[in-house]
């Protein structure tokens, strides 16, 4: 075995022996946890994360609120979304705007998250609506949006939320993994669907 | 949709985030590194299930094949059926585990995540629909094989009832965990 290793190291060019390579790899691994730059980077990342969360908390909350059926649901979704944003931040290179990126991760979290179905849906919805600021005048509007959005399927729900937040068709298409024309067609259909639902609710 | 309604919805949507009372639960990044999302927990559940199924294959074979007091043909049949059943469970759970694990909310597009979540949920219920009747047939066959000894039959029925209760509880936990994914 040793002879074999020596033979391999002899065959390496530029006098770099296998031993040298192994030694440098060992020290590289050893340094990984204690690298000064690494510490600075991780601190910067934490700062960046706190900034993003404080800036975009409202956005994350309203997406999670729209998918939630209860207060517990809402809090779990927010927590999961924040965890995923933290996990993704390390690889975020600014390919999309921050808002678009946050939208994608939060929507994906809400769509992939498994949640407990409430047994008393009406009561839990009442509690959820209790989170809306009591001084806010358009409380009913928010309840109405929640009800209308919740009747849509997941894909339409995601698209209409981004459209309501005035993301461009290109940004919506990028997040959805669709082409722009498909998104435009879908938005038109969803608007018609919402229109019908709006009428139903106003008759109710 | 008339423009008035549309602008009402848009303005309410924009204000929504600011008028929600948020919990003051502050998450520190060191906690976030260790915390698991619901999707991670579902993955771990499938992971446990395939491991359990895998661990059951050999012991069931060893136990059932050594039973002396039933006809040898039945003993052979049972020692094939039980490991095969657990092997099927292992394959299905492993496949579901791999599938759910592949869902990456950070990297994948929204439609991919949505369709994958729906797909694996549907497959999960299809597998239950297939495996549950098979399990009942196997229990029925086991009772038939042991029909000479009344106490053995009681034991099998008792075991089946306990197994059914545990299985139903796990099934309902899965049902609770999975949100209704609409098409």
Q: Digits of tens for pLDDT over chain A (204 positions)? A: 444 444 444 444 444 566 666 666 666 565 554 444 555 577 788 888 888 888 888 899 889 988 888 888 888 888 899 999 999 988 888 778 888 999 999 999 998 876 655 566 677 777 888 887 777 777 788 888 888 888 888 889 999 999 988 899 999 999 999 999 999 999 999 988 888 877 776 655
A62 and B13 Cβ atoms separated by less than 8 Å? yes
Number of A/B CB contacts below 8 angstroms equals 160
The distance in angstroms from the start CA to the end CA of chain A is 83
B171 in contact with A, Cβ within 8 Å: no
Among B23, B109, B100, B91, smallest CA distance to A114 is for: B100
Rg (CA), chain A: 25
Q: How many CB atoms lie within 10 A of CB A45?
A: 15
Residues with Cβ within 8 Å of B152's Cβ and at least 6 positions away in sequence, in order, are: B146
Q: Which residues 110-139 of chain B have a CB within 8 Å of chain A?
A: 110-114, 116-118
ipTM > 0.90 for the complex:
no
Quick: pLDDT tens for B95-152. 999 999 999 998 899 999 989 988 998 898 899 889 989 998 998 898 888 887 788 8
Q: Distance (Å) from the C-alpha of residue A19 to the closest C-alpha of chain B?
A: 36
Are the Cβ atoms of A195 and B5 closer than 8 angstroms?
yes
Q: Distance (Å) from the C-alpha of residue B28 to the closest C-alpha of chain A?
A: 9
A contact test, residue of B5, B8, B14, B19 with most A CBs within 10 A: B19
Q: Distance (Å) from the C-alpha of residue B51 to the closest C-alpha of chain A?
A: 22
B contact test, residue of A53, A112, A121 with most B CBs within 10 A: A112
């Amino acid at each position: 075995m040793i002879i074999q290793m020596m033979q391999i190291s002899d065959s390496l060019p530029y006098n770099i022996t296998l031993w040298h390579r192994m030694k440098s790899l060992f020290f590289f691994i050893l340094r990984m946890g204690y690298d000064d730059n690494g510490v600075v980077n991780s601190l910067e990342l934490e700062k960046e994360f706190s900034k993003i969360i404080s800036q975009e908390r409202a956005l994350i909350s309203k997406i999670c609120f729209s998918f939630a059926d209860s207060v517990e649901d809402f809090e779990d979704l927010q927590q999961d979304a924040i965890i995923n944003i933290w996990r993704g931040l390390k690889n975020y290179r600014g390919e999309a705007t921050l808002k678009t990126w946050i939208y994608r991760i939060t929507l994906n979290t809400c769509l992939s998250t498994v949640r407990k179905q409430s047994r008393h849906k009406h009561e839990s919805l009442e509690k959820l609506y209790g989170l809306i600021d009591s001084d806010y005048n358009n409380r009913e509007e928010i309840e109405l949006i929640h009800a209308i959005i919740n009747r849509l399927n997941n894909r339409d729900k995601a698209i209409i939320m981004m459209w309501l937040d005035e993301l461009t068709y290109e940004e919506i298409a990028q997040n959805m993994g669709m082409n722009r024309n498909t998104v435009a067609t879908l938005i038109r259909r969803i608007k018609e669907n919402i229109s019908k639902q709006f009428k139903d609710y106003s008759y109710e | 949709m008339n423009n008035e309604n549309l602008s009402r919805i848009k303005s309410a949507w924009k204000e929504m985030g600011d008028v929600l009372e948020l919990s003051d639960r502050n998450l520190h990044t060191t906690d976030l590194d260790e915390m698991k999302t619901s999707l991670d927990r579902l993955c771990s559940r499938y992971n446990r299930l395939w491991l359990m199924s895998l661990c059951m294959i050999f012991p069931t074979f060893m136990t059932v094949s050594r039973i002396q007091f039933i006809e040898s043909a039945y003993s052979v049949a049972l020692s094939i059926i039980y490991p095969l059943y657990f092997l099927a469970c292992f394959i299905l759970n492993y496949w579901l585990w791999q599938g759910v694990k592949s869902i990456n909310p950070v990297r994948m597009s929204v439609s991919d995540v949505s369709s994958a979540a729906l797909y694996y949920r549907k497959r999960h219920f299809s597998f239950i629909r297939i495996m549950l009747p098979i399990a009942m047939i196997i229990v029925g066959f086991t009772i038939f094989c042991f029909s000479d000894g009344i106490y053995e039959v009681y034991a099998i029925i008792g075991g089946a009832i306990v197994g059914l209760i545990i299985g139903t509880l796990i099934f309902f936990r899965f049902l609770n965990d999975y949100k209704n994914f609409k098409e």
